[in-house]
């Protein structure tokens, strides 16, 4: 455990990606199999295997009380130290003074006991026992992982590259195995023992979702003879696993959402064999018409869904791919997977073949208009001969979305970016006019070239009237044209609205601040969305809170 903590200290202190990869690779080569599995999970912030649906049940209150009992410091002091340093783990590293004796092999037994314990007092005692066996450095990372605060600059891609370097495996093989093997510990063992090719889709264990590329980002032309069209649904992307009569649902971030959609679970229990489906959970009207994503907000993030919520926001699962049907289908072409899907007792997103004799642009225009009329947000184009490329974003799936509208807005604040943009002002908060005052409607950071950002940084620095760290409050003189996919109500912005997926079209050097759009224009666009059913009016109580009436 001490070797792991020392390595993570070094990784945190290192900015270069290659150096981080080298440090982790050196560690992996020194660990036995059981140590490697535990360490790999911990590096990515997991203390339980990904296939284990349990949690440790350790929240701030239990963690703080256990730390107080072990260190002798009052809980108030631990809270203050955690806020001062940024998180609980860093506070533990300063407050714990005894040497650690915990090994990586011992950690799973402690974590399993925490997950099994239902009594709060018992969980606290178990955590106290664990902290008494950890030194300052080990406690730092255990504390971070237990509270979901592990931020050390190691993302999945960097972790996978470190395995490739450690064990001399092709990086492409590691990436493919990682897409099918959700657990970092299992992936590390496959890499170590040269068994990456054995990675398989297993019902009940989430796999990485295949992703679509925006049409404008794909340079290869569409081949209408090998392409079908589907409506792009506006819901929660969901992977449904049915195995042995047990249904588990996973969202695109690979978090489990089974308890969020009990009616979907009930509908899928009818399957008599193991299946894995890719699709979307949509909020629907009584007659089955799709409602906007906004309608789902009250259902998300809840462990238990009330009968009232189910009545107010009924949902349906719409499938559009079949990854497993008694056998893995991910390497089969789309048309074969689709044929298997259509034989299953589940609602399926309709598809239309493209017409090779008609211009592509003409077909997409007509199909896009029709999809919007059905309440959906755009189109999906899918190659009929393509396998399911788990975790990949390529040209086999393309999404066709168009800006709902554009607005001319005024920059009111700017913020320094991250990574290679850390030295420039690349994130812009912008506003429209409400009478004689500017009210914010959103924030954007994409759409400009590097040269345009550098030039804009120089201009905004000269307009800065107040600076707090990376944030600059600027005189409202710079006008941007912003494209966006829609509007939603917002309590965050004084305007009462926020733009959905805003991106910068251009800097309007030809316009002055007074030429920017007004709130009345935004309100009219909102009303147009309401009229077409692409947005819904918030409940009366929520509307009052927006304007402080």
At residue 544, the pLDDT reads 36
At residue 549, the pLDDT reads 29
* Angle, CA 540 vertex, CA 538 and CA 545 arms, to 5°: 85
**Do the Cβ atoms of 269 and 250 come closer than 8 Å?**
no
At residue 547, the pLDDT reads 34
Give bridge partners of residue 276 from the DSSP assignment.
241, 324
- Which two tokens mark 250? 């996973």
Q: Which fold has domain 2-146?
A: DNA ligase i, domain 1 (1.10.3260)
**Do the Cβ atoms of 187 and 207 come closer than 8 Å?**
no
Contacts of 146 (CB under 8 A, 6+ apart): 47, 56, 58, 63, 127
Q: Where are the domains of the chain?
A: 2-146, 211-400, 405-547
Q: What is the rounded distance in angstroms from the CA atom of residue 158 to the CA atom of residue 390?
A: 18
What's the distance, CA 458 to chain centroid?
33
Phi first, then psi: what are they for 318, rounded to 5°?
Answer: -110, 115
Helix, strand, or coil (residue 2): helix
The DSSP symbol for 420 reads: G
Of 232, 382, 434, 443, the catalytic one is 232
- The half-sphere exposure of 269 on its side-chain side, counting CA atoms within 13 A, is 8
Helix, strand, or coil (residue 98): coil
Quick count: other Cβ atoms within 10 Å of Cβ 342? 12
- Which two tokens mark 98? 């005894």
Quick count: other Cβ atoms within 10 Å of Cβ 33? 12
Q: What is the rounded distance in angstroms from the CA atom of residue 13 to the CA atom of residue 6?
A: 11
Q: What is the rounded distance in angstroms from the CA atom of residue 294 to the CA atom of residue 453?
A: 33
From first to last of its 549 residues, the chain has per-residue pLDDT tens of 999 999 999 999 998 999 999 999 999 999 999 999 999 999 999 999 988 888 999 999 999 999 999 999 999 999 999 989 888 999 999 999 999 899 999 999 999 999 999 999 999 999 999 999 999 999 999 999 999 888 787 888 999 999 999 999 999 999 999 999 989 999 999 999 999 999 999 999 999 999 999 887 777 899 999 999 999 998 999 999 999 989 999 998 778 899 999 999 999 998 989 999 999 999 999 888 888 888 887 788 777 888 888 998 999 999 999 999 999 999 999 999 999 999 999 999 999 999 999 999 999 999 998 998 888 888 999 999 999 999 999 899 999 988 788 999 999 999 988 777 878 999 999 999 999 999 999 999 999 999 999 999 999 999 999 998 789 999 999 999 999 988 989 888 889 999 988 999 999 998 999 999 999 999 999 998 888 777 887 765 444 333 332
Q: What is the rounded distance in angstroms from the CA atom of residue 277 to the CA atom of residue 317?
A: 10
Q: Classify the phi-psi angles of 442: left when phi > 0, otherwise alpha if psi is within -120 to 50, otherwise beta.
A: left
**Do the Cβ atoms of 407 and 482 come closer than 8 Å?**
yes
CATH of domain 211-400: 3.30.470.30
- Which two tokens mark 132? 């008494």
**Do the Cβ atoms of 183 and 40 come closer than 8 Å?**
no
Q: What is the rounded distance in angstroms from the CA atom of residue 310 to the CA atom of residue 316?
A: 11
382 given a catalytic annotation: no
- Which two tokens mark 184? 């970092």
Q: What is the rounded distance in angstroms from the CA atom of residue 106 to the CA atom of residue 38?
A: 10
Helix, strand, or coil (residue 33): helix
| Closest residue by Cα to residue 229 from 355, 395, 329, 403 | 355
**For residue 304, with 0-12 CB atoms within 10 Å meaning exposed, 13-18 middle and 19 or more buried, which class applies?**
exposed
Q: What is the rounded distance in angstroms from the CA atom of residue 261 to the CA atom of residue 249?
A: 8
Predicted model pTM: 0.76
Q: Look at the chain and count its residues.
A: 549
Question: In the chain, how long is the greatest CA-to-CA distance?
Answer: 78
Contacts of 18 (CB under 8 A, 6+ apart): none
* Dihedral of the alpha carbons of 457, 461, 463, 464, in degrees to the nearest 10: 130
| Closest residue by Cα to residue 188 from 19, 42, 28 | 28
- Which two tokens mark 352? 């239309």
Provide, for the chain, the percentages of residues in helix, strand and coil under a 3-state DSSP scheme, each rounded to the nearest 5. Answer: 40, 25, 35
**Do the Cβ atoms of 414 and 460 come closer than 8 Å?**
yes
CA distances from 109 to 8, 113, 141, 230, 466 (A): 22, 6, 17, 48, 53
| Closest residue by Cα to residue 223 from 356, 379, 368 | 356
| Closest residue by Cα to residue 241 from 322, 359, 164, 295 | 322
| Closest residue by Cα to residue 160 from 44, 33, 290 | 44
What's the distance, CA 303 to chain centroid?
19
Q: Classify the phi-psi angles of 391: left when phi > 0, otherwise alpha if psi is within -120 to 50, otherwise beta.
A: left
Q: Which fold has domain 405-547?
A: OB fold (Dihydrolipoamide Acetyltransferase, E2P) (2.40.50)
């Amino acid at each position: 455990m001490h070797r792991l903590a020392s390595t993570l200290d070094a990784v945190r202190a290192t900015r270069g990606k290659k150096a981080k990869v080298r440090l982790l690779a050196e560690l992996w080569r020194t660990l036995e199999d059981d140590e490697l599995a535990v360490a790999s999970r911990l590096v990515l912030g997991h203390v339980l295997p990904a296939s284990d649906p349990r949690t440790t049940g350790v929240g701030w209150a239990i963690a703080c009380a256990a730390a107080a009992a072990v260190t002798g410091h009052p809980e108030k002091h631990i809270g203050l130290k955690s806020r001062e340093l940024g998180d609980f783990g860093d506070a533990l590293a300063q407050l714990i003074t005894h040497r650690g004796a915990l090994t990586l092999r011992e950690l799973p037994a402690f974590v399993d006991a925490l997950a099994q314990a239902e009594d709060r007092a018992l969980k606290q005692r178990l955590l106290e026992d664990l902290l008494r066996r950890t030194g300052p450095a080990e406690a730092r990372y255990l504390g971070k992982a237990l509270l979901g605060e592990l931020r050390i600059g190691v993302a999945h891609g960097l972790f996978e590259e470190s395995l490739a370097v450690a064990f001399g495996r092709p990086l492409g093989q590691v990436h493919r195995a990682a897409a099918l093997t959700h657990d970092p510990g299992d992936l590390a063992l496959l890499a170590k023992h040269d068994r990456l090719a054995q990675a398989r889709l297993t019902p009940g264990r989430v796999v990485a979702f295949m992703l679509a590329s925006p049409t404008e980002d794909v340079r290869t032309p569409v081949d209408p003879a090998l392409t079908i069209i589907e409506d792009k649904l506006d819901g929660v992307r969901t992977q449904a696993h049915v195995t042995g009569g047990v249904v588990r649902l996973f969202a695109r971030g690979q978090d489990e959402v089974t308890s969020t959609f009990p009616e979907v679970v009930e509908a899928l229990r009818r399957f008599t064999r193991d299946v894995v489906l890719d699709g979307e959970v949509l909020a629907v009207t009584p007659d089955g018409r799709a409602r906007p994503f906004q309608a789902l907000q009250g259902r998300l993030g809840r462990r238990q869904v009330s009968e009232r919520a189910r009545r107010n926001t009924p949902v349906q699962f719409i499938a559009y791919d079949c990854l497993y049907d008694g056998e893995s289908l991910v390497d089969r072409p789309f048309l074969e997977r689709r044929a298997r899907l259509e034989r299953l007792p589940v609602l399926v997103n309709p598809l239309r073949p493209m017409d090779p004799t008609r211009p592509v642009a003409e077909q997409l225009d007509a199909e896009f208009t029709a999809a919007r009329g059905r309440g959906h947000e755009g189109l999906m184009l899918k190659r009929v001969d393509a396998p399911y490329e788990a975790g990949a974003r390529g040209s086999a799936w393309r999404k066709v979305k168009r800006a709902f509208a554009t607005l001319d807005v005024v920059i009111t604040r700017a913020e320094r970016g991250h990574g290679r943009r850390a030295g420039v002002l690349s994130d812009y908060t912008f506003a429209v006019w409400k009478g004689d005052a500017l009210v914010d409607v959103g924030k954007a950071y994409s759409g400009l070239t590097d040269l345009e950002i550098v030039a804009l940084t120089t201009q905004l620095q000269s307009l800065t009237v107040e600076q707090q760290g990376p944030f600059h409050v600027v005189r409202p003189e710079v006008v941007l044209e912003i494209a966006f996919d829609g509007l939603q109500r917002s309590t965050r912005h004084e305007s009462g609205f926020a733009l959905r997926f805003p991106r910068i079209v251009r800097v309007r050097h030809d316009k002055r601040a007074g030429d920017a759009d007004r709130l009345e224009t935004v309100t009219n666009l909102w009303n147009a969305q309401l009229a077409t059913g692409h947005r819904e009016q918030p409940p009366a109580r929520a509307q009052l809170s927006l304007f402080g009436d």
